Amino acid sequence: MIKQSTETFRCNDQALVYQLVRSKKRYRSMALKLRRDGKLQVNVPFNTRASIIEEFITAKYSWIVAKQQQKPEQIQPTHYRYCEGEKHLYLAKEYTLKLIIAKQSKVELKNDELLVFYRENTSIKNLINKWYRLQAIDYLQHRTQLFAESYQFPRINKIKIRSMKARWGSCSTKSVITYNLHLIKASPENIDYVIIHELCHLIHPNHGPGFYQLQQKLNPNWKQQKQLLNARGYRLLPY
């Protein structure tokens, strides 16, 4: 169960407006993040008292100010027009979009180009997104199963791919792992970070000490990978 509300808290003579997300899946830890739209979001366990939330925000005030002072282009998503010559990412490499009218629609990579063969009046955007989805399903399912078997994780019931605005992945209590469609645009190292992160949730549902100990053991470079993914993430998520 998740409950969301818009809250205001005065901290250091500044009125902070934030989106409060209460979740029953979150047990003890609280987290802050600056969303792509520039809004502050606070994730907390469902029954966390307001006074505890305010203390947490106060302790993180310097971080909040630093994040909010970043240049807009650092957090803005890419605006795609799906026209000839445009650059599109796949596994962190840029490919130049080339449009070709054909009798049958298909998308393929060739050298440094993303070739889109399309019939007239066909949506280029839909063709590209369908291609991304197919690549994501194949790559992420294979990679997830590889790590799951190598590290002997519990059984995964299902792996899903969907377009998400604010999360790279999630793992439900029913052992269903969901990945962001646009994760396939990131580097293999950053993708592995997300995969291992979600697999660790099969054993530790929350972000408690046990979760971080396991993640650190399996992926010692996770902090650097997370930082890079969050810093470059705005390029991966289109309007």
For 93, the enclosing helix (H) or strand (E) is strand 93-101
- HSE, side-chain direction, 13 A CA sphere, residue 70: 19
Q: Which amino acid is present at 192?
A: D
What's the gap between Cα 65 and its chain centre?
23
For β-strands 106-110 and 87-90, DSSP reports them as: unpaired
- Residue 23 contacts by C-beta under 8 Å, 6 or more apart in sequence? 1, 2, 3, 43, 44, 45, 46
Q: Is 122 helix (H, G, I), strand (E, B) or coil?
A: coil
For the chain, the domains span 2-74, 124-235
Q: Decide if 136 contacts 149 (C-beta within 8 A).
A: no
- Residue 113 contacts by C-beta under 8 Å, 6 or more apart in sequence? 95, 96, 97, 98
- What is the Cα–Cα distance from 56 to 20, expressed in whole angstroms? 12
What pTM did the predictor assign?
A: 0.71
Q: Is 170 exposed, middle or buried (0-12, 13-18, 19+ CB in 10 A)?
A: middle
State residue 227's pLDDT score.
Answer: 86
State residue 72's pLDDT score.
Answer: 45
Q: Decide if 229 contacts 186 (C-beta within 8 A).
A: yes
Q: Is 78 helix (H, G, I), strand (E, B) or coil?
A: strand
Q: Which residues of the chain have pLDDT under 70?
A: 36-37, 70-78, 234, 239
Task: Assign domain 124-235 to its CATH superfamily.
Answer: Metalloproteases ("zincins"), catalytic domain (3.30.2010.10)
Helices 188-200 & 209-218 angle (0-180, nearest 10): 140
Q: Which residues, in sequence order, are bridge partners of residue 3? A: 22
Long-range contacts of 58-66 (CB under 8 A, 24+ apart): 58/11, 60/32, 61/11, 61/12, 63/32, 64/16, 64/32, 64/34, 64/40
Tokens standing for 119? 């019939």
Please write the tens of the pLDDT for every residue from 176-188.
Answer: 999 999 999 999 9
- What is the Cα–Cα distance from 100 to 64, expressed in whole angstroms? 47
Tokens standing for 122? 């066909």
Please write the tens of the pLDDT for every residue from 27-56.
Answer: 778 999 887 667 899 999 999 999 999 999
